[in-house]
Amino acid sequence: MGVVNATPDSFSDGGKYLDSAAAVAHALQLVEEGADILDIGGESTRPGADVVSAGEERARVMPVMEGLARAECKARISIDTRKPQIAREAVAAGATIWNDVTALTYAQDSLETAAVLKCEIVLMHAAGDPKTMQQNPTYKDVVEEVYAYLSGRMEASVRAGVSQDRIIVDPGIGFGKTVAHNLALLANLDRFAALGRPILLGASRKRFIAAFDREGPAGGRLGGSLAAALAGLRRGASIFRVHDVSATRQALNIADAIENPDLRR
């Protein structure tokens, strides 16, 4: 899953792809590099980020959706949004996945909308909202608490009419977690296999990587991002939300070939 941030303030590449033509070109390049899914977002959810109006978010993402349709993009499209109205418009324009960092809790009609759309839904764990989530996040047992939350959101989604086989779960690396919390989730990612749904891992370029290296720009965290992806692969993750598609795909392919003799040539 390649990341396409049509935003001025995302933590990794804010502003670089705010222009829709640049975002479309970047998205198509990610497909060339091997992205199976493009995750298009128009509202940053980095720590400290402010809410963006639906109108502004729409103006950022819909031209990208339309540009990809004109280019006959072969990758699946995911809309990264908290807002049901944006999800509805994106699905109408061709998106087949709704990636919601609030696990369908942001708006009163989120669950109902997800049921009506019949697209795949990513339910992600986040403690608090982006503005405040990194202000002293606290858990007694981060793995079990995140597991319980995702299990509960799955149950709520199914009760609302979302088909269970359309649900994807994401433990929310970096969303209301300390470095230790993120590492515990990565180390115990296989715990989430008990939910019976695909696990999405979004650790690419996250701030916790810098805790084990020198501080620097997010684009300099490729090594740590690959290490997290490989750890996730060994523990059952099947969707990897990344900025560096080519390098990540290569790393995952080699790891697969090492572990699976049938893939060796």
Nearest Cα to 4, choosing from 53, 75, 52, 84?
75
Nearest Cα to 154, choosing from 122, 193, 200?
122
Give the integer Cα–Cα distance in Å for 123 and 126: 10
State the distance between the two ends of the chain, measured CA to CA, in whole angstroms.
26
Residue 74 annotated as catalytic: no
Backbone angles phi, psi at 15, to 5 degrees: 90, -20
Element (H, E) at 168: strand 167-170
* Annotated catalytic residue within 206, 221, 235, 249: 206
Please check whether residue 139 is in contact with residue 125, taking contact to mean a CB–CB distance below 8 angstroms.
Answer: no
Please check whether residue 174 is in contact with residue 203, taking contact to mean a CB–CB distance below 8 angstroms.
Answer: yes
* Annotated catalytic residue within 82, 197, 205, 241: 241
Residue 206 annotated as catalytic: yes
Exposed/middle/buried for residue 112 (C-beta within 10 Å: 0-12, 13-18, 19+): middle
- As annotated, the active-site residues are 206, 241
